[in-house]
Amino acid sequence: MNAQCCRTLIDELAQGKLPERERLSAFIDACAPEAFSGPVPDDATTLEAAYLAEAGVHETVSSSDASSDALPEEEAEAVREALYSLARKRAVEHFGRRIYIRGLIEISNICRQNCRYCGIRAGNALAERYRLSPEQILACCEHGYGLGFRTFVFQGGEDPWFTDERLADLVRRVKSEWPDCAVTLSVGERSLASYRLLREAGADRFLLRHETADPAHYAKLHPVAQSWSNRMACLRNLKACGYQTGAGFMVGSPWQTSACLAEDLRFLHDFQPEMVGIGPFIPHAQTPFARFPAGSVERTLVMVAMVRLLLPAAMLPSTTALGTAAGDGRERGILAGANVLMPNLSPKEARALYRLYNNKLSEGAECADNLAELRERIRAVGYEIVVDRGDFRPC
């Protein structure tokens, strides 16, 4: 795809049009051809075949890579800047230069699931496990409220201790104590009845990244006990319960192609989530993907900007993974159209143990206690952190 065709596709996205998957894929490869930060392991193809055979699924999205059609770097940089510029414009039109903050509380790193990319997977026998008590979680909320947070995000592994009733009681206590605050849950796959009960208790939002819109790719990232169809059913159930629903995906996960990413864009366009979390894949040393390279920061930013054009009203975090992968990753995410940051309110000892991937940021500007530093960094790129719930507002 040449530069002019790339600019035409950007204009189509800005007009709310969804280009064909093949054109989306070609655009990604033209302006962000580097999918990974290094070479994949020599046995990657063997692993891929084994995972597909174990799941009994076949490829549904082309695995071909059109990176040979990459633009010369100078032209690619110009196309990326045109994309980022228009994404920033869309975000400013809808949100002004306001950046919304969420207080992230990592309630447990105990998880029953075994996702192949995740450092807190059940199969990681080296993980030092913890679980915050309800009193510790409420203390984090109290501290965060004083700092100016008006949304609290309870994120954790799928810890069986957090039953429906325990989580519902926790949500009720937060909403009673701080009624002007929103509660977001990010606690994985649960039943429709569970989602309904938690919504009735007062939970406002739920984050559940779809990870990939390609079933075959999903089977490569997860063991056979975890199905793409169940993940999609959970997302539909969350919408049906009335949550502001968040989906999302990693960029550069093993065996991901530009065609997979194009399918993600088409899924998001159809599903219309209120929130989308996008960050680069970063390997964890105690997972089956330890030897795979991290995803490309530039390709991640391209995806953030494309999603902003497709979903102009969506809440798009500039993720911790972006900040981990690049020192200025948070700022670059905002300059590509993101409008949310999620500083960490967890106790220090918990932050050090919630290791989803290698070198995950938990201190400095990532820590909620250093909000002043984060404000200055965001102000330096022309934006302002605000005290606000930051609810989704449709166009």
Number of residues that make up the chain: 395
Beta strands 244-251 and 275-280 are parallel
What is the rounded average pLDDT of the residues 331-354? 94
Q: Which two tokens stand for residue 186?
A: 């990010």
pLDDT at 367 > cutoff 80: no
Q: What is the pLDDT of residues 159-169, one digit of tens each?
A: 999 999 999 99
Strand order of the β-sheet with 340-341 is 340-341, 98-101, 384-386
Q: What is the pLDDT of residues 31-40, one digit of tens each?
A: 999 999 899 9
Q: Which two tokens stand for residue 390?
A: 């930051």
Q: How high is the pLDDT of residue 149?
A: 96
If pLDDT is split at 50, 70 and 90, which confidence band does 30 have?
A: very high
Q: Is residue 157 within 8 Å of 185, Cβ to Cβ?
A: no
Instruction: Please enumerate in sequence order all residues whose Cβ is within 8 A of that of 342, keeping only pairs 6 or more positions apart, or say none.
Output: 101, 102, 103, 104, 153, 317, 319, 320
If pLDDT is split at 50, 70 and 90, which confidence band does 365 have?
A: low
Instruction: Please enumerate in sequence order all residues whose Cβ is within 8 A of that of 133, keeping only pairs 6 or more positions apart, or say none.
Output: none
d(CA 159, CA 186): 12
d(CA 116, CA 283): 10
Q: Domain map of the chain by residue range?
A: 3-386
Q: Report percent pLDDT > 70 for the chain.
A: 96
User: Which of 260-274, 298-312, 357-371 comes out lowest in average pLDDT?
Assistant: 357-371
Superfamily of domain covering 3-386: Aldolase class I (3.20.20.70)
Q: Report percent pLDDT > 90 for the chain.
A: 90
User: Which of 26-35, 198-207, 355-364 comes out lowest in average pLDDT?
Assistant: 355-364
What is the rounded average pLDDT of the residues 248-257? 97
Q: How high is the pLDDT of residue 369?
A: 77
70: DSSP letter = P
pLDDT at 364 > cutoff 70: no
What is the rounded average pLDDT of the residues 342-366? 81
Instruction: Please enumerate in sequence order all residues whose Cβ is within 8 A of that of 15, keeping only pairs 6 or more positions apart, or say none.
Output: none
Q: How high is the pLDDT of residue 66?
A: 45
Q: How high is the pLDDT of residue 351?
A: 87
**DSSP-derived 3-state class of residue 203:** coil
Q: Which two tokens stand for residue 364?
A: 């400095």
**DSSP-derived 3-state class of residue 36:** strand
Cross-strand pairs, 182:
151
What is the rounded average pLDDT of the residues 225-234? 97
User: Which of 240-249, 302-311, 370-379 comes out lowest in average pLDDT?
Assistant: 370-379
Q: What is the pLDDT of residues 109-121, one digit of tens each?
A: 999 999 999 999 9
Q: Which two tokens stand for residue 169?
A: 């009681």
Q: How high is the pLDDT of residue 79?
A: 98
pLDDT at 176 > cutoff 90: yes
pLDDT at 67 > cutoff 60: no
pLDDT at 62 > cutoff 80: no
DSSP secondary structure, 343-356, as one string:
-B-S-HHHHTT--S
User: Which of 189-198, 278-287, 347-356 comes out lowest in average pLDDT?
Assistant: 347-356
Q: Mean pLDDT across the chain, nearest whole number? A: 94
Rg (CA), the chain: 20
What is the rounded average pLDDT of the residues 261-285? 97
Q: Is 78 exposed, middle or buried (0-12, 13-18, 19+ CB in 10 A)?
A: middle
Q: How high is the pLDDT of residue 363?
A: 60
d(CA 137, CA 59): 43
180: DSSP letter = T
d(CA 236, CA 230): 10
**DSSP-derived 3-state class of residue 279:** strand
Q: Is residue 125 within 8 Å of 374, Cβ to Cβ?
A: no
pTM of the model: 0.95
Helix residue ranges per DSSP H, 125-257? 134-147, 164-177, 192-201, 215-221, 228-240
